[in-house]
Structure 1
Amino acid sequence: MGIEREGGWLAAFYFIYFCALGAFMPYWGPWLHDQGQTPLAIGILTAAVQFSKVLAPNLWGWLAHFWGSRPIVMLGTLLTAAGFLALEFSAGNFIAILLITLAFSFFWAATLPLVDATTMDWAQRRSASYGRIRLWGSLGFIALSLGMGVLISIWGMQAFLPGILLFLVLAWWVSRHLPYVSQVPSSTQARPRMTPVLRDLRLWFFLLAGLLEQASHGVYYAFYSIYAEAHGLSSTSVGLLWGFAVLCEVAFFWWGDRFIRRLGIPLVFTASFVLTALRWGVIAWWPGLLWIILVQSLHAASYAAFHLAAIHWIAERFPGALRARGMALYASMVYGLGGGIGALAAGWSWAQWGGQWTFAAAGLLAFFASVFLIKGLQASPALEKKTI
């Protein structure tokens, strides 16, 4: 399989996977509402999706250590699709939806960390760019977050589940062709151990910093549209702002490896945290249209720069057969636990303090997280400036 074809399969997987995610995230709540669920039930079902990312990736990463990534990614995409098919028969029953949601989220959480590990392995072998493969996921998210809205406007919420199901089946088909590298030791080889890595406190400072940085996004994902409309923006303008933010994310993924090569992982990391704090602070205190447009460009820092630097950091710290487990640990702690805590805290803070102070608190949280980041990056030989 040539390098272009291998890269093409990886790009296709990211595009299709994030097409499904782009259809799911904006319309999961409206679909649940259409099924007659109460606001409390919607909150519980949304949190179930987030918190499934805490334990599931670690279990799947551990299994990949023994079985390899290929069977788990294929199984995960296929059984996630089966979960969305099962939702068609839930008949609006809360318990049924909850159990199905826990099931499909458990399998969905298996795929992305393992594919990230596969992509990073491939990029290092081929002297290629992880970011230029990953950006196809962002493009897929844009395509279906907009496209699903069109489908729903034509056919109603009955288009929601079949649309996601289609892309998950496609993701399963594409997963059969990814350039996996077997990192499973033979029966005569000693298996590498996680214990020495886990004993390094710098790892836990890094994970805590990432958890807090992603938790600061909770108010953005849950309430940004409401906040912007409350300050005079139309629904169309808000939608364009979301799209603009993701386009800035795509741009950084395209050029980001060059930034990391020239500036080093610690500097890119630190800048992403400081700019994240700046972003939330500007939204809190200067919510006018001009400033909101300008700070939306900082999504390139708060998400893309953070994620790209983190993937390189994890890849260096968890080499070879440990990489899938390292990616799983990162996904579960940062996006699973951090995302879940951030969503719950944002809802409480919004009710108690209102939007302005909640965004201001998010800015302080991101800035505070940089203290732990500095501790995590101290004297780490794996993070020296390097050629990618």
Structure 2
Amino acid sequence: MPASASERVRLSAFYGVYFAGLGAFGPYWGLYLDSIGQTALQIGFLTALVQVTRVFAPHLWGSLADRTGQRQRVVHWATLASALSFVLLFWGQSFWWAALATFLYSFFASAALPLVEATTLDWARRMQASYGRIRLWGSLGFIVFALGLGILIDGFGPQAFLVTCTLLFLGAWLVSLPLPRGEPHPHHAAAGESLGQLLRRPGVLAFFLACALEQASHGPYYAFYSIYLQQHGFSGVGIGLMWAFAVACEVGFFLASDRIIAYLGLRALLLGSFVLTTVRWVLIGLWPGLGWVIFAQALHAASYGAFHAAAVNLTYQQFPPALRARGQALYSSLAFGLGGAIGGALAGWTWGQAGGGASYAVAAVLAFLGLLLAARATGRMAVARAL
């Protein structure tokens, strides 16, 4: 097998297994916590805790990888540590024990994706290959386990969640071993601007804050969507199907992403994703029946797929090679970390106080505010039409 094909397979395999773990964890984390007696506020806190570690941990890992030039090694050890940390959940169900295990798991798990994203974008640019066609394997892995774990939980109960997630997190460690090392960019090779100077470029910091608002709007979706569907009569299998359908639509976007980006450009794609994210939360909050839920789940192609593809490419454009791992880590920290933490905590509070409809109304407002900020930020940034 040619080296380029072998590297494509290794990158695709990592995305597949890594996101399979997220497909098992994300849809059922709230249900698992509910099954062991955690309150709505505690579920919101524990969901937010996953995001809180992403505020600071990715930057630490990205800085370490850029300074040492050892992205692959950092990914390898961090994925192993995250799997071992998750095992702690087998030995306790109290709130504080779950908080400890959640913090350690997320602290180490947050290292992997930004570093692999930087390596994949480097590789795709060097080989003139499609990022989307590698990234879609992550979406496929997510689908299989978002659906499959629902079946296992219906048959074997909540313990199936812990066993499946542990095996998949260990699998992510195994497939990290042969990852390409990426382009070596030692810290001293950084030409010109520092990280702080780059963030002071017109629009850059505002762009990251807009991404944080978009991810904050997903708070009730990631923390309570499965519970919300359960309250409206969906079975475990039905819940898995809804999650799997959403990610199938995301796969469709990634398959066509090169053509869509070439037609729309990165700025229009980003702003369009904010508009459709706002629409999605309005639909879920007002009409939780089957037909509208299916339509709203189809919009996951925009609220995650299009948004993420545009955001990682725009981030890549703003940072020189020596700072690209930290650039992707900063995007992850502010969008999925800060935004996710605020969204999870806010969702826990609004859900406990006023229920699901109010939570999704707040989510829609956050996405709309993100749209306004993103439009202003990308109007001031130096944005190429495509990568």
* 1:41 to partner: Cα distance: 4.3
- Report matched runs for 1:63-142 at 5 Å: 63-68=64-69, 69-88=71-90, 90-142=91-143
Residue number in structure 1 paired with 2:319? 318
Residue number in structure 2 paired with 1:50? 51
* 1:137 to partner: Cα distance: 0.9
Gaps of at least 5 residues in structure 1 are none
Distance 1:147 1:241 in 2: 12
| Aligned-partner SS, 2:178 | coil
1:286–1:161 Cα change, 3 Å: closer
* Structure 1 position 372 matched with structure 2 position 373: yes
* 1:30 to partner: Cα distance: 4.2
Q: Is contact 1:205–1:373 with CA below 8 Å preserved after alignment?
A: yes
Q: Is contact 1:56–1:332 with CA below 8 Å preserved after alignment?
A: yes
After superposition, the C-alpha distances for 1:159-212 in whole angstroms (9 at most, x for unaligned) are 433322322222222212112224332878879621321112411111111111
Residue number in structure 1 paired with 2:385? 385
Distance 1:164 1:74 in 2: 18
| Aligned-partner SS, 1:378 | helix
When the two chains are superposed, the root-mean-square deviation of aligned CA atoms in Å is: 2.5
Distance 1:47 1:292 in 2: 24
1:339–1:189 Cα change, 3 Å: closer
Distance 1:234 1:143 in 2: 17
Q: Is contact 2:16–2:140 with CA below 8 Å preserved after alignment?
A: yes
* Structure 1 position 14 matched with structure 2 position 15: yes
Distance 1:186 1:29 in 2: 40
Q: Is contact 2:75–2:176 with CA below 8 Å preserved after alignment?
A: yes
Percent of counterpart pairs with the same letter? 49
- State the AA in 2 paired with 1:197: L
Distance 2:238 2:36 in 1: 28
Q: Is contact 2:44–2:349 with CA below 8 Å preserved after alignment?
A: no
- Report matched runs for 1:217-366 at 5 Å: 217-228=218-229, 236-366=237-367
Distance 2:106 2:326 in 1: 18
Residue number in structure 2 paired with 1:206? 207
Residue number in structure 2 paired with 1:181? 182
Distance 1:131 1:142 in 2: 16
Q: Is contact 2:31–2:226 with CA below 8 Å preserved after alignment?
A: no
After superposition, the C-alpha distances for 1:107-153 in whole angstroms (9 at most, x for unaligned) are 11111110111111111111111111111111111111222233344
Aligned length: 385
Q: Is contact 1:192–1:321 with CA below 8 Å preserved after alignment?
A: no
1:368–1:6 Cα change, 3 Å: same
| Aligned-partner SS, 1:200 | coil
Q: Is contact 2:190–2:322 with CA below 8 Å preserved after alignment?
A: no
Residue number in structure 1 paired with 2:4? 3
- State the AA in 1 paired with 2:80: L
Residue number in structure 2 paired with 1:62? 63
Distance 1:189 1:204 in 2: 20
After superposition, the C-alpha distances for 1:252-275 in whole angstroms (9 at most, x for unaligned) are 011112211222111111111111
After superposition, the C-alpha distances for 1:31-57 in whole angstroms (9 at most, x for unaligned) are 445556555544433322221111100
* 1:25 to partner: Cα distance: 2.1
* 1:95 to partner: Cα distance: 3.7
* 1:156 to partner: Cα distance: 3.7
- State the AA in 1 paired with 2:93: G
1:333–1:288 Cα change, 3 Å: same
Residue number in structure 1 paired with 2:217? 216
1:361–1:152 Cα change, 3 Å: closer
Distance 2:180 2:355 in 1: 48
Distance 2:316 2:350 in 1: 36
1:222–1:83 Cα change, 3 Å: closer
- State the AA in 2 paired with 1:346: A
- State the AA in 2 paired with 1:131: G
| Aligned-partner SS, 2:324 | helix
Query: Which deviates more from structure 2 when the two are superposed, residues 219-228 or residues 365-374?
Result: 219-228
TM-score normalized with structure 1 length: 0.90
Distance 1:222 1:101 in 2: 14
* 1:96 to partner: Cα distance: 3.7
After superposition, the C-alpha distances for 1:68-114 in whole angstroms (9 at most, x for unaligned) are 211110110111122123333x3335444332322221111111110
Query: Which deviates more from structure 2 when the two are superposed, residues 32-41 or residues 340-349?
Result: 32-41
Gaps of at least 5 residues in structure 2 are none
